[in-house]
Amino acid sequence: MTSPATIALLGTGIMGLPMGRHLIRAGFPLRAWNRSIDKAAPLGELGATLAETPIEAAANAQAVVMMVSSGAVCETLLFGDDGIARQLSPGTLLIVMSTIGHSEAIALAERCRELGLGWVDAPVSGGEKGAREGSLSIMAGADAVDYDRAKSILEAMGHPLHIGPAGSGALAKLVNQLTVASTIAAVSEALVLAEAGGADPAKVRQAMLGGFAYSRILDQHGQRMLDGDFAPGGPARHQLKDTRAACDVARELGLDLPLLELTDRLFGDLVNAGGADLDHSALLLEVRRRNGMDAGELDRNG
């Protein structure tokens, strides 16, 4: 029987840590690195080897899973002064699960292929809850050979789907994030409108959940809005990064997407008003602030 691939996991934050747990439980030998190494400690307790540097984590690994904050960080880890890409053996598979730009994914994939490395851009949807439950939706951009090599690794963390060639996963994630962000904006405005008009927002949401307006965002984030629970699962600053990246792709393609542009401005205003580290469902507070309603959480974080 073939031994499972040794995996290097770079990034053990809100998403990476539970994803690493699932990799260990699936039987993959794991070496984990995080800039703040204490955040990787729970994986060490489960049997992972903790590495002090990305190069140490990636040495002799058959696959490197990256779950860091941005495309810029991915590029630095791969091709910066202490980048790992040129240290890896040809054939090593890179699985970039961070949300990065479409053009970034294509460019990084090409640079990796020139070094004989495999590539999969495999961003995820499902948030911290999906990461904990191992139920993430995983959108993969890769050639067929690299996807087949990555599939068992991805299945340990969720439900992968091969979208198309390199860059397709990153594009699918930006489409997903556009949809998520604009739906959060719609739910925020709906609850504010209900409140301002004298209806009970909780009962309005309950009624909507039984009709055509149902969505997971209305269900889960709508409840967070009602509870005022804005502890970050997906921080607003990350949502803004994604809407900005989606705007860039739209401009590259010559598209006029006014809803995306408006949603991007709303999240930009939320971040600028002090909500960068609140959950993206805190867009409710920005809508309230714009309408002269109490947005105390923003005031306290501004």
Question: Does the annotation mark 173 as catalytic?
Answer: yes
What are the angstrom distances between the C-alpha of 258 and each of 207, 250, 264, 271, 282? Answer: 29, 10, 10, 20, 22
Question: Do residues 21 and 43 lie in contact, with contact meaning Cβ atoms separated by under 8 Å?
Answer: yes
Task: Go through 249-285 and write b for each residue having 16 or more CB atoms within 10 A of its CB, e for each that does not.
Answer: bbeeeeeebeebeebbebbebbbebbbbebbbbbbbb
Out of 39, 129, 151, 173, the active site residue is: 173
Sign of CA dihedral 128, 134, 135, 139: positive
- Give the Cα separation of 121 and 84 in Å (integer): 17
For 3-25, the three-class secondary structure string (H helix, E strand, C coil) is CCCCEEEECCCCCHHHHHHHHHH
β-pairing verdict for 118-121 and 124-125: unpaired
Dihedral pair phi/psi, residue 277, rounded to 5°: -100, 10
Run of H or E including 207: helix 201-209
- Residue 240: CB atoms within 10 Å: 24
Question: Do residues 187 and 222 lie in contact, with contact meaning Cβ atoms separated by under 8 Å?
Answer: yes
Q: Please report, as a single letter, which amino acid is at residue 100.
A: I
Stated length of the chain: 302
CA atoms within 13 A on the CB side of 256: 0
Sign of CA dihedral 159, 162, 163, 168: positive
Q: Give the residue numbers marked as catalytic.
A: 173
